[in-house]
Every structure is written in C-alpha cells, then in structure tokens.
Amino acid sequence: MCRIGRNRRDALHHVADRGEGAGYVHHVTSDPYPGTPAKTVLLHVAYGDHQVSELSALIEARTLGAAIHQPVAIDGRWAEKEPGWGLEPIAYPYDGSAIIIWDSGMAPIPFENVPPREGNDSHEDPRRDPDVRRQKAAFLFDDTLIDVCDGAACEADHNP
C-alpha cells in the first residue's frame, strides 16, 4: 500500500481534477477561472458510442447548462423514459451551449456496467457527416446553432 501524506494527497487530487473534465466543466460556461472568458459549447454526441457514453455527455451538458435538440432520438431507440431529462429544448436558431445526439443506427450502449461490444462503434460518425459539419461551421463561424435535422431526431451516416 502506498502511503502519501494528507497534504501531498490533496495536492495530487487537485492536479488530477484539472485533467478530468468533470473537475472543471462547471467553470467553462459560467464561473470561469480568472482571466478566462466564459465559453459557449457544442456537444455532438454519437448514439451508441463505444468510447464516450452519451450518458456521460448528458451529465456534462447538465453541468454546462446546455440545451438539447429534441426529439433526442428516433422513436424506440432510447431506453430512458425522458431522454434529455433536465435539459431545456433548443429553440432554433440558438446562440447558447447545446448538446445534439447523432444516431447512425448503431446498437445502444448497455445499461449494465460493461463496455459496449455489439455492432460497430459510432464514435466518429458525427464528425464525418456533412450535416454535422454544416451545423458545426455555423456554430463556429456565425455564432449560431442551426437545425440541420429539420425538426426530427438527428441522424448521421455511418462511415466505418
């Protein structure tokens, strides 16, 4: 067993907090660190992602105070009773922080504490989809989030 003194352990904990997103996410959009302006954040999340769970992204979105694109998912694809619970729906065009779930038809993540293994990984699908890129460009260059999903759940092409 490694024994680290209390002060040293606390110092290591503070260093680790800065390396883990959950340790500083609440400083991104509000209560920024001194000399750092508050940010506006766009989270493009792949449904069924094997690398980054959409559940983790939803927790981050709630912490950021982000709004969510609705409908969140294609009917019957989301196991939660209220997908996006606790997040305000986006009213387009929008100029705040937001989360959009992109569904490319991959299997949902398991609810058990096991890694996803079924089907292909959708992690890169949003970044490779032309509609996602168009939305991202408007957000970055025009400071406006536009609806590229025509009021429906957002679907991305799967590109392995």
For residue 91, CA distances in Å to 14, 64, 68 come to 38, 17, 9
Calculate mean pLDDT across residues 152-159: 92
Task: Please tell me which residue, 7 or 24, carries the higher pLDDT value.
Answer: 24
Is the peptide bond between 71 and the residue preceding it cis, with omega within 30 degrees of 0? yes
Phi, psi of 64 (to 5 degrees): -70, -20
Calculate mean pLDDT across residues 118-147: 95
For residue 138, CA distances in Å to 4, 23, 134 come to 49, 29, 6
Q: What is the pLDDT of residue 13?
A: 47
Q: What is the pLDDT of residue 143?
A: 95
Give the three-class secondary structure for 70: coil
- Mean pLDDT over all residues of the chain? 86
Calculate mean pLDDT across residues 40-45: 96
How far is Cα 126 from Cα 54, in angstroms, rounded to an integer?
Answer: 13
The answer to whether the CB of 73 falls within 8 A of the CB of 130 is no
Predicted TM-score (pTM) of this structure = 0.85
How far is Cα 116 from Cα 107, in angstroms, rounded to an integer?
Answer: 9
Question: In which band, very low, low, confident or very high, does the pLDDT at 31 lie, cut at 50, 70 and 90?
Answer: confident
| Domain extent listing, the chain | 1-33, 40-155
Question: In which band, very low, low, confident or very high, does the pLDDT at 20 lie, cut at 50, 70 and 90?
Answer: low
Q: The tokens 């590229």 sit on which residue?
A: 148
